[in-house]
Amino acid sequence: MDDHLLRDLTPQVLGALVRRGADFAAAEDAVQDALAEAVRSWERGAPDEPKAWLVTVAWRKFLDARRSASARALREIAVHREPAAGPAGQADDTLLLLSRCCHPALSPASAIALTLRAVGGLTTAQIARAFLVPESTMAQRISRAKRTLAGERFEQPGDVRAVLRVLYLMFDQGFSDRGYAGDKSTEDLSGEAIRLARQLVASVPRDPEAAGLLALLLLHHARRPARTDAAGQLVPLAEQDRTRWDTGMIAEGVDLLQHALAMDRVGEYQAQAAIAALHDDAASADETDWSQILEWYDELARISPDSPVVALNRAVAVGHVDGPLAGLRLVEALDPGLPRRDAVAAYLHERAGNRKEAARLYKAAADATAILAEHAHLLKQAARLNRG
C-alpha cells in the first residue's frame, strides 16, 4: 500500500466530489470510506487508474449515504451526476478544494485548519498539536468551518489571492516556531505550506504571485537549519552560519522568482521574495546589498501602501542605507502597539550607540511577544547590553 499515493490523491478525489455538488462534510466522509476500502482492496497493488477507482467508490459511498436520507434525492443525483463508465477525468481539483477551504467567510485560523484537514490530509489531533490547543477544541473549530460552508457551491476555483494568503499565514505559523511542538511523525506547518504551494503553482502555472509565494517560502525555509543553535536558542539572520543554509532550495527559489518576474506583473509576494533572495545571496551579513533591498521595499510600499509591517521592515533597510537615526525617525511615526516595533527600534538604537535605550526596548519587546524563542532571544539581547 502506497501511503504517499493515497495522500496525494485524497484532495483530488475530495475536490472531484465537491465539484459534482456533494456537500463538503458528506464528501469528506465518503472519501474516508473509500480510502478505508482501498486499504483493504489494494493489498496486492493499486489499480491502473487509482484516482478513477477512488472517485468511483467515493461517489458511490456518497450516494449510499444520501439513499438512507432520501431515495428520491438519490434517483435525481444518479440521473444527473452519475459519471459515465471509464476512466475519471485527470484534472487536478486541488485548486478548487483550496479555494473552498480558504473561503473569505472563514477566519484565517479556521481556513488554515480546514486546509490542513481536507487538503493536507492531517488528522485533527495533528492539527491541534500544531496550534497548541486541545483536540476537542480543534474538532469544534473544523466542524464550525464546515457548517459555515454548508450549502455553498463551488463549480469553479475562487480567488487565488485568498489561497495565497492562507498558505502564507500557514507557513509563518510554522516558521515562527509554533509548529508541531516536537511531533516528528508529520511535517511541520511551514513544510506543509510549501507542499501545498507547489500544488497550487502546478494548478495555475501562469500566475506570477503563486510562483512568487512559493519562491518566498523556499528562500526563507532554506535558512531554517541555521535559525537555532545547539541549545535551541534563536540565531538572528546576521549571525547565522550560512554554510548551513540549503543552497539547493535557494537556487530553486531564485529560479521561481526569475520566472515570476519575467511575467512583468510584480506583486507583494514577488517583491518579498526578491528581498529574501538578496539576503540569501550575501556570503556574509556585511555583504548584504541593502541599497537593492531598500529599492524592493520601496516597490513593496507602492504595492501595499497601507501595510504597517512593510513600513516597519522598510525602516530597517533605511537604517542600513541612510543611517540608524533615519530609520528610527520612520519607526517613531508608526503605531506604538505594532508587533516588533520595539524590537526594531532597539536594533536601530543599538546601531546608533544608544545602548541603554536599546536594552530597555529589547526588554519591552520580549514582554510583548508570545513566541518563546523570540522572548528568550530578546531578553538575551537586553542582558548583553545591560552588562556592557
Mean of all residue pLDDT scores within the chain: 85
Question: Average pLDDT of 287-311?
Answer: 97
- Residue 55: closest CA among 93, 101, 96, 99: 93
Q: Produce one character per residue of 189-206: b if its CB has 16 or more CB atoms within 10 Å, e if not.
A: bbbbbbebbebbbebbee
| Other C-beta atoms lying within 10 Å of the C-beta of residue 45 | 9
pTM of whole model > 0.85?
Answer: no
Distance of CA 165 to the CA centre of its chain: 8
pLDDT level of residue 195 (50, 70, 90 thresholds): confident
Q: Long-range contacts of range 78-84, CB-CB < 8 Å, 24 or more positions apart? A: 81/20, 81/21, 83/20, 83/55, 83/56, 83/59
pLDDT level of residue 259 (50, 70, 90 thresholds): very high
The answer to which of 29-38, 91-100, 232-241, 288-297 has the lowest mean pLDDT is: 91-100
Q: What is the pLDDT of residues 57-114, one digit of tens each?
A: 889 888 888 776 554 444 444 434 444 433 334 345 677 788 888 888 888 888 888 8
Considering 15-24, 125-134, 330-339, the range whose residues carry the highest mean pLDDT is 330-339
Distances (CA, A) of 67 to 20, 343, 355: 17, 60, 73
pLDDT of residue 216: 98
Q: What is the pLDDT of residues 207-227, one digit of tens each?
A: 999 999 999 999 999 999 999
Q: Quick one: cell of 324?
A: 540608524
DSSP letters spanning 328-365: HHHHHTS-TTSTTHHHHHHHHHHHTT-HHHHHHHHHHH
- Residue 224: closest CA among 257, 250, 199, 256: 250
pLDDT of residue 180: 38
Q: What is the pLDDT of residues 105-157, one digit of tens each?
A: 888 888 888 888 887 777 888 788 777 789 999 999 999 988 888 766 665 56
Q: What is the pLDDT of residues 21-68, one digit of tens each?
A: 787 788 888 888 898 888 888 887 888 888 889 999 889 888 888 776
